[in-house]
């Protein structure tokens, strides 16, 4: 065969293999599907026709977040390859246009689209999937690190215990998820260090996400007097572990006894108004509220569900155990999808990157609940990682267009079930040894000077 012809065929095969890994157009077709088209159109900003319009930019951003290589160069290369394979005019592989398009992408568009998807998923949940027909929402927080740039450090400073140049900027994320489906309903991001970034503050900013009749699960950070009072005024019940500040004062000999280590007590409003609260809000908060305390599973729990017949202690204990699902949701977002370490270099882009991950997470959850509805199984019994893997392959192969294959995809997603392992305990330790290198204990520029002068330190034994 002619060497030139052989080289050309080799190049064509290489281009085609790379094109198969470019799934941004598949995600674009999902975002413009019947389910999301009207909402996406309503949220689009005014824009000129460019190489990277908002919807395509968002699709590429999602693809970038889910890729092993999360560089902008890789995303632009994939888009250029796809255009070339599709017979379109070749575009530049320089990243400047795409980076500017990401900067123009409105944060509000990504956040509201994520919340809209969460609402769609939540509305698809049937009553028999819920706890006694009630919507149960879980509140929890986590932290995320990001590149060590001056602007990121200024907005999200590293912990005080770390020396300058050795730590990473860190932010706190508090999210609200649906217990039945795992969908993310809303989230708030704040700094890790200093006032205004704690989990209680971030949860207060999300209180509009709770509707009358909802039931909120949370850990011991959240059941403060003012949060309980606000939830009661909205007709929202809660079930949480007792706040640490009250744990020592709990005395089951007091109050209205409901059973063994189960009673209703009255607590009074703190005399000092919190700094974050307005005078009007403080005056409007009742001076006393009633709560139910009970001990189960070695923990003291707090709830606003007072009736021991409609909400027996044993049932509440089992319900609170299901709060562990939010830890699995956080693991899916941070570890399975890769959000534990962000990539963007500025605070504004960090926020967009977080919401892009959350949007991608809800897209997977949408496929999972559609699978659950088709096969009549609980959404929580479906493997998230299995769903993500199948979904990525599907959008790569079909561009997200083949509706018939989408139904077959749902059946494949439902095949892998998550085992029910209550009370599972595993050591928090790793078996594989790390590489024998010492930790970096001084700023990198100082370490370079020492390497030049003295050579590399010896490996650890």
Per-residue model confidence as pLDDT tens digits over 53-76: 888 888 888 888 888 888 889 888
Q: 171: which residues sit within 8 A by CB, 6+ positions away?
A: 143, 144, 146, 156, 189, 190, 191, 192, 197, 350, 354
pLDDT at 454 over 90: no
Burial tier of 381 (Cβ tally within 10 Å: 0-12, 13-18, 19+): middle
Residue with tokens 């092993």: 68
Tell me the pTM. Answer: 0.86
pLDDT at 438: 80
Per-residue model confidence as pLDDT tens digits over 271-328: 999 989 999 999 999 999 999 999 988 889 999 999 999 999 999 999 999 999 999 9
Residue with tokens 């809303």: 186
Q: If pLDDT is split at 50, 70 and 90, which confidence band does 425 have?
A: confident
The stretches of 322-413 forming alpha helices (DSSP H) are 325-331, 347-375, 384-398, 403-413
Mean per-residue pLDDT of the chain: 85
Which has the higher per-residue pLDDT, 60 or 134?
134
* C-alpha–C-alpha distance, residues 118 and 178, integer Å: 8
Q: Evaluate whether 80 touches 94 at the Cβ level (below 8 Å).
A: no
As beta bridge partners, residue 262 has 259, 294
pLDDT at 195: 74
- The secondary structure element, H or E, covering residue 172 is strand 170-178
Q: Which of 42-51, 300-309, 345-354, 405-414 has the lowest mean pLDDT?
A: 42-51
Q: Is 94 helix (H, G, I), strand (E, B) or coil?
A: coil
pLDDT at 38 over 90: no
Q: Where are the domains of the chain?
A: 3-105
pLDDT at 34 over 70: no
Angle between helices 347-375 and 96-104 (to 10 degrees): 80
């Amino acid at each position: 065969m002619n060497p030139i012809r052989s080289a050309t065929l080799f190049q064509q095969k290489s281009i085609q293999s790379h094109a198969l890994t470019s799934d941004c157009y598949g995600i674009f077709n999902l975002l413009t599907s019947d389910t999301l088209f009207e909402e996406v159109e309503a949220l689009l900003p005014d824009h000129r026709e460019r190489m990277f319009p908002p919807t395509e930019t968002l699709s590429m951003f999602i693809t970038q977040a889910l890729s092993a290589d999360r560089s902008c160069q890789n995303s632009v290369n994939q888009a250029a390859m796809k255009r070339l394979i599709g017979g379109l005019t070749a575009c530049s592989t320089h990243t400047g246009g795409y980076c500017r398009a990401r900067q123009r992408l409105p944060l509000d568009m990504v956040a509201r689209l994520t919340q809209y998807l969460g609402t769609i998923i939540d509305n698809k949940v049937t009553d028999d999937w819920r706890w006694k027909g009630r919507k149960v929402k879980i509140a929890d927080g986590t932290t995320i690190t990001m590149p060590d740039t001056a602007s990121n450090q200024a907005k999200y400073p590293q912990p005080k215990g770390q020396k300058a140049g050795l730590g990473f900027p860190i932010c706190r994320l508090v999210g609200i998820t649906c217990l039945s489906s795992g969908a993310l309903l809303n989230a708030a991001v704040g700094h890790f260090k200093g006032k205004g970034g704690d989990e209680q503050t971030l949860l207060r900013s999300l209180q509009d996400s709770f509707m009358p009749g909802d039931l909120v699960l949370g850990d011991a950070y959240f059941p403060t007097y003012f949060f309980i009072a606000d939830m009661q005024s909205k007709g929202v019940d809660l079930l949480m572990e007792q706040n640490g500040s009250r744990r020592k004062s709990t005395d089951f000999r007091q109050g209205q006894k409901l059973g063994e280590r189960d009673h209703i007590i009255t607590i009074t409003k703190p005399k000092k108004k919190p700094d974050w609260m307005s005078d009007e809000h403080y005056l409007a908060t009742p001076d006393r509220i009633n709560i139910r305390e009970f001990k189960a599973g070695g923990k003291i729990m707090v709830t606003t569900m007072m009736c021991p017949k409609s909400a027996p202690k044993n049932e509440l204990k089992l319900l609170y155990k299901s709060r562990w699902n939010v830890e699995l949701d956080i693991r899916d977002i941070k570890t399975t999808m890769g959000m534990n370490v962000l990539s963007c270099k500025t605070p504004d882009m960090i926020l967009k990157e977080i919401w892009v991950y959350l949007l991608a997470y809800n897209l997977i959850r949408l496929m999972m609940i559609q699978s659950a509805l088709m096969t009549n199984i609980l959404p929580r019994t479906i493997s998230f990682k299995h769903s993500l893997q199948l979904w990525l392959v599907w959008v790569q192969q079909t561009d997200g267009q083949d509706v018939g294959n989408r139904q077959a995809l749902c059946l494949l997603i439902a095949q892998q079930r998550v085992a029910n392992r209550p009370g599972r305990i595993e050591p928090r330790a790793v078996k594989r040894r790390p590489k024998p290198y010492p930790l970096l204990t001084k700023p990198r520029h100082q370490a370079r000077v020492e390497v030049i002068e003295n050579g590399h330190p010896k490996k650890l034994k």
